[in-house]
């Protein structure tokens, strides 16, 4: 079984990825690698942040790895929160505070179109490859649902009448931004 380090300790992200991998790869987290550093995310793009995290792991631990960065891009807010999605309401990265700030910013806004984008940066033997997954939708006016994480309770994907937080994980994985990026990653790995 091939081994890859996923440059995260977010258990929700790992669960989403492992479902897609069907046991084809052994995924190790940063903690399993012994990395407890707070990896910087100082780039001005999702691509830059994903590469920054993957390079950090590859250069320090000399292992094949991948990292992701995800942004929620709201049309009426000129793409914000974008690269600042996780810390939109501050460095504490509080999901409720982030959602509340976004809902407040959209209070009198009729255009609630948004999209989630995930960029995965893969480094194998020094070669870097990027993969993108995206899902379009709208921002609800209030939180709905208990599943998921982050902005899932206020993001309703196009073609559905429920938020990501109301949909089963299998459905979210099938239609979601991270799932789409992971599918591209897996297709690439299977052809190597």
Kindly list the distances between the CA atom of residue 176 and the CA atoms of 35, 46, 100, 110, in Å, as whole numbers in the listed order: 28, 17, 22, 24
**DSSP label of 8:** -
Beta bridge partners of 133: 118
DSSP SS3 for 15: helix
Long-range CB contacts for residues 89-98, cutoff 8 Å, separation at least 24: 95/149, 95/150, 95/151, 98/150, 98/151
Count the residues in the chain.
192
Kindly list the distances between the CA atom of residue 185 and the CA atoms of 62, 95, 97, 157, in Å, as whole numbers in the listed order: 20, 27, 32, 22
- Does the annotation mark 152 as catalytic? no
CB atoms within 10 A of CB 91: 7
Selecting among 37, 44, 68, 69, the annotated active-site residue is 69
- Distance of alpha carbon 89 from alpha carbon 109, whole angstroms: 19
Active site residue ranges: 69
């Amino acid at each position: 079984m091939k081994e890859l380090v996923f440059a995260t300790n977010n258990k929700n992200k790992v669960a989403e990825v492992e479902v897609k991998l069907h046991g084809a790869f052994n995924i190790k987290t940063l903690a399993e690698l012994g990395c407890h550093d707070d990896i910087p995310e100082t780039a001005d793009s999702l691509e830059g942040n994903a590469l920054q995290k993957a390079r950090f792991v590859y250069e320090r631990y000399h292992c094949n790895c991948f990292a992701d960065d995800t942004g929620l891009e709201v049309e009426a807010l000129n793409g914000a929160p974008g690269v600042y999605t996780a810390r939109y309401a501050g460095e504490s990265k509080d999901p409720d505070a982030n959602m509340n700030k976004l809902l407040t910013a959209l209070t009198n806004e009729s255009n609630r179109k948004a999209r989630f984008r995930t960029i995965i940066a893969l480094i194998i033997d020094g070669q870097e490859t990027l993969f993108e997954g995206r899902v379009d939708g709208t921002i609800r006016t209030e939180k709905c649902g208990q599943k998921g994480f982050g902005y899932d309770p206020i993001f309703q994907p196009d073609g559905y009448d429920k938020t990501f937080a109301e949909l089963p994980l299998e459905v979210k994985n099938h239609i979601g931004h991270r799932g789409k990026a992971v599918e591209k990653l897996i297709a690439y790995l299977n052809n190597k």
